[in-house]
Every structure is written in structure tokens, then in C-alpha cells.
């Protein structure tokens, strides 16, 4: 008997445990990424100003006439979409944690940032003067 058999039974146990969490106290959000819609256009980035922690899929649509991107310039979790062509949609999934995130489009070496493609979102809050964020 190889090591495969115990692994399979462990996997089966994990699957049963995962299935039972549907009606349990674990939030469904931990099982599937929460979708957040983002719109890119000339010249702006539109998304909710407040988000929640956990696995999140940014559904990023370029509704403009030029290529754009979605780049976390500052924040506790960094990720980027890469170039999104006009009319296209890209999905980027990240496990978000509380904090402040600065988002920009870095196309044209800052040219789009200067035109206003810069925004932010926050997760949770922090005491005045404190650098420690918490949620809720
Ligand atoms: Cu842009």
C-alpha cells in the first residue's frame, strides 16, 4: 500500500467537511471569491469605495476607447490586471485584507494617472492616528 491511499481518504474527509459548511457557520464568502465590478474609461476607474476582506474577484471591464489597466499602487495586497483592450473584460482574484488600497492605470507611463485614472478603496477602519486596520 503506497502513500496514495491515506491521501485519498484525507481528501474525501476534506470534501465532506467542505460540503457540510454550506449549512454551517462558515460564511459562503470563504468558499467562493466575492465578485466586484470595476469599470475603466477615459479617464477614470469606477469601483466601490468600501470592500470586504477575503477572496475577491475583480471583474474589470474596459468601457473606453484606449487600452487601460488596473494596478494596485499601494496597499497591503498588491496585484495587477495587465493591459485590458477596449471592450475587453479581465478577472483578477486576490485575497484581500483590511487596509487602504490605491488603484491606478499605469498606461502611458503615468499619463493616464495624470488624467485621473487614480482611485482608492478601503477595507475596514482604523483608529485616528493608528496604522492598524481592522474589520469590521
Ligand atoms: Cu488607462
What pLDDT sits at residue 131?
84
CATH 2.60.40.420 is right for the domain spanning 32-134: yes
11: left (phi over 0), alpha (psi -120 to 50) or beta: alpha
User: Strand 54-62 and strand 34-41: pairing?
Assistant: parallel
What pLDDT sits at residue 27?
56
Distance 55 CA to ligand 1 centre (A): 25
pTM summary value: 0.76
pLDDT (tens place) for every residue of the chain, 136 residues total: 444 444 555 545 444 444 433 444 445 545 699 999 999 999 999 999 999 999 999 999 999 999 999 999 999 999 999 999 999 999 999 999 999 999 999 999 999 999 999 999 999 999 888 889 999 9
What pLDDT sits at residue 61?
98
Distance 49 CA to ligand 1 centre (A): 19
Give the residue extent of every domain in the chain. 1-28, 32-134
Q: Which residues are placed with Cβ below 5 angstroms of ligand 1, an ion?
A: 68, 105, 107, 112, 117
The residues that bridge with 120 in the sheet, in sequence order, are: 102
Cell 477614470: give the residue: 44
Amino acid at each position: 500500500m503506497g502513500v496514495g491511499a491515506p491521501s485519498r481518504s484525507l481528501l474525501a474527509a476534506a470534501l465532506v467537511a467542505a460540503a457540510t459548511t454550506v449549512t454551517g457557520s462558515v460564511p459562503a464568502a470563504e468558499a467562493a471569491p466575492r465578485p466586484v465590478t470595476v469599470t475603466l474609461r477615459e479617464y477614470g476607474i469606477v469601483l466601490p469605495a468600501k470592500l470586504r476582506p477575503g477572496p475577491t474577484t475583480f471583474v474589470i471591464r474596459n468601457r473606453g476607447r484606449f487600452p487601460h489597466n488596473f494596478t494596485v499602487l499601494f496597499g497591503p495586497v498588491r496585484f495587477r490586471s495587465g493591459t485590458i483592450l477596449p471592450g475587453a473584460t479581465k478577472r483578477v482574484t486576490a485575497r484581500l485584507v483590511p487596509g487602504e488600497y490605491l488603484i491606478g492605470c499605469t498606461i502611458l507611463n503615468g499619463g493616464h494617472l495624470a488624467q485621473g485614472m487614480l482611485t482608492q478603496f478601503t477595507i475596514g477602519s482604523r483608529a485616528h492616528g493608528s496604522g492598524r486596520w481592522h474589520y469590521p
